[in-house]
Amino acid sequence: MCGILAVLGCSEISQAKRVRVLELCRRLKHRGPDWSGIHQFGGNYLAHQRLAIVDPASGDQPLYNEDKSIVVTVNGEIYNHEKLREHLSHHKFHTGSDCDVIAHLYEEYGENCVDMLDGMFSFVLLDTRDNSFVAARDAIGITSLYIGWGLDGSVWISSELKALNDECEHFEVFPPGHLYSSKNGGFRRWYNPPWFSEAIPSTPYDPLVLRRAFENAVIKRLMTDVPFGVLLSGGLDSSLVASVASRYLAGTKAAKQWGAQIHSFCVGLKGSPDLKAGREVAEYLGTLHHEFHFTVQDGIDAIEDVIYHIETYDVTTIRASTPMFLMSRKIKSLGVKMVLSGEGSDEIFGGYLYFHKAPNKEEFHRETCHKIKALHQYDCLRANKSTSAWGLEARVPFLDKEFINVAMSIDPEWKMIKPDQGRIEKWILRKAFDDEEKPYLPKHILYRQKEQFSDGVGYSWIDGLKAHAEQHVSDRMMHNAANIFPHNTPKTKEAYYYRMIFERLFPQNSARLTVPGGASVACSTAAAIAWDASWSTNLDPSGRAAVGVHNSSYENNPNPANPIPANDNPAPTAIMSGVVAAPTASPGIAIETQ
């Protein structure tokens, strides 16, 4: 991930202002330690901290069109840049960077070019011809972005709020799937997929269609000119990412540069569930596996740094971010700059354990829509900022636009959890990769029960956090919590402890407002409470506490991998045998199917 900072329409045009912008941009240097750049045009400043992944030799930013009348600073990856270059053959490109297409696309298509980009991105584009600008954020909010306003009428846009909080009168989260145009003076949504309206879809479930869509999503994310790997906890999502990446790595450009054996990484307390499962999957796939151990005290010692980097006081996010933060530092020390990760699957397929209580497919689907729309505030924020803290980039195949469109168009009846029919959470994803002839994963991994990431690294991790907070937050402090923190009042001592650190690091009111429902647990949504009233008194988001289904939800289902019931046959293509043509992103490769 890179770091961007733009100051637009500033009334002060001076060397002192330029120096101040550079000083603020250096607060983002952890995101892009490889190079920095700035472009000034009048009262407009576009600054950049680069993490070089594609074309590291010549892709420094800001980037320009041919006559440099259009300037852009970008954080992200454009996976379809080679295809877009074919449509821009009459343009001259200065670099081989995937982001170099944006300025030229804007010349041809204006603001509508945003919807043509396939990738994760945040960018600010300045058109010096009329002194206008456009800022945009990717569909789901995989990349982080904030916007603020100065007293002089200037607009400030940054990858992280720490570059804005000393200069802006007000700042807030830049909404995902939106663009901000100076010509229109506000936001407009550019990402409007069919699922966004939350209308109930009716497309029949076809395992092969879902499988191909996910394989395409993984393959396109192997675009890199630097060493890379996969995060492998041994759970379903990360294991599928690792499996698909391993299958397609041989013969690719990346394999020729870095070797055909993919590196995998896992973190946990000694003896944790994730370490054991990750090791087993790595052995099955033949990855070059790296295990990182940490202690509860290591994690506690890192909490303040974690909150500084991830910029939230949400309990679940901090719990899960800390091991990821520690692991990212170790990964970067090995020379790796990019990793594939499994975020997004639980939101798309209803993988959280409270989905067991969904009363019907309509409510199930609407809740998955709500969860996807909130990803930028939780899991995307964690994955992006925990890794970016050490100059590491995380790519998330499950949040590929095309894959989401396929998965969210499936009739949600297929996603419903029905233990009596052998359907556990995320059953349709598991079934899509349940290949008897050429297994992607061992059965018990493919059907492994859901663990929260913060639980999987070791159950004593959460217990240790609670005990530490108990020592530092008194009962009297909790009694007065509503007076000290009237917005998002902490409900537990752990939440209070995180909030104290956050407020010291980010004392501005705008900063605390960027965190949604900070003290409430991520899965205690209105839907979860409506489905099961016991959630109204559950203050702990740990997977172990989830509606009585953890470790006991399959008592009536001794074989969760059993075949599709006779009255629920999928489309005929799901049971055909033979060879399916490989996606165009990987010519010459084929996959065998059931």
- List active site positions: 2
Query: Residue 88 class from Cβ within 10 Å (0-12 exposed, 13-18 middle, 19+ buried)?
Result: middle
* Residue type, position 308, single letter: Y
Using the 8-state DSSP alphabet, how is residue 210 labeled?
A: H
For residue 268, list its beta bridge partners. Answer: 293
User: Residue 165 has which token pair?
Assistant: 């909080």
* Residue type, position 343, single letter: E
- Pairwise CA distance, residues 310 & 303, whole Å: 10
Q: Do 101 and 88 meet the contact criterion of CB atoms below 8 Å apart?
A: yes
Q: Which of 367, 356, 361 is nearest to 413 (CA)?
A: 361
Task: Report helix, strand or coil for 51.
Answer: coil
- Pairwise CA distance, residues 152 & 534, whole Å: 50
Please name the residue that has the structure tokens 């297409």.
101
Q: Do 109 and 190 meet the contact criterion of CB atoms below 8 Å apart?
A: no
Q: Which of 43, 28, 79, 14 is nearest to 338 (CA)?
A: 79
- Pairwise CA distance, residues 25 & 190, whole Å: 28
Using the 8-state DSSP alphabet, how is residue 96 labeled?
A: -
- Pairwise CA distance, residues 338 & 301, whole Å: 26
HSE, CB side, 13 Å, CA atoms: give it for residue 493. 16
Q: Where are the beta strands (DSSP E) in 201-259?
A: 228-231
Q: Which of 226, 222, 219 is nearest to 53 (CA)?
A: 226
| Pure H helices in 415-524 | 427-432, 443-446, 453-456, 459-472, 475-479, 481-484, 493-505, 509-513
- Pairwise CA distance, residues 313 & 316, whole Å: 9
Task: Report helix, strand or coil for 418.
Answer: strand
- Pairwise CA distance, residues 523 & 360, whole Å: 18
